[in-house]
Amino acid sequence: MPSNQFRSGDVLCPFYKGRSLLEISCEGLFDGVTLTRLIFPRKTIIDFHFINYCTKKYKYCELYRMILDKYPDENENAR
């Protein structure tokens, strides 16, 4: 596997749930919502998002920040 390829085991985001070919699933944005899906038009775009926002730089992901707002006690330490 090329060194720039990441696997689900490389994920650091606590809200990540899974990935398929063109879709990333995360925890729901609001209470009562169980899953949020991001659907991408091309593999290159999902790969970019996954590598940058599900692994090493997950705190820069807008979805991460929105989901984090559900947890006010965690919010102060996580940003």
State the residue range of the domain holding 29: 8-72
In a domain, 43, yes or no: yes
pTM of the model: 0.79
Domain count, the chain: 1
Instruction: Using the structure block, give the residue that is written with the tokens 């599900």.
Output: 54
In a domain, 50, yes or no: yes
In a domain, 21, yes or no: yes
Strand positions, DSSP E, the chain: 16-19, 23-27, 35-39
Over its length of 79 residues, how does the chain's per-residue pLDDT go in tens digits? 344 455 667 899 999 999 999 999 999 998 888 999 999 999 999 999 999 999 989 999 999 999 999 888 766 555 5
Eight-class DSSP state of 77:
H
Tokens found for residue 65 = 């920040």
pLDDT number for residue 2: 41
In a domain, 77, yes or no: no
Instruction: Using the structure block, give the residue that is written with the tokens 């999902």.
Output: 46
Contact 40, 51 (CB under 8 A): no
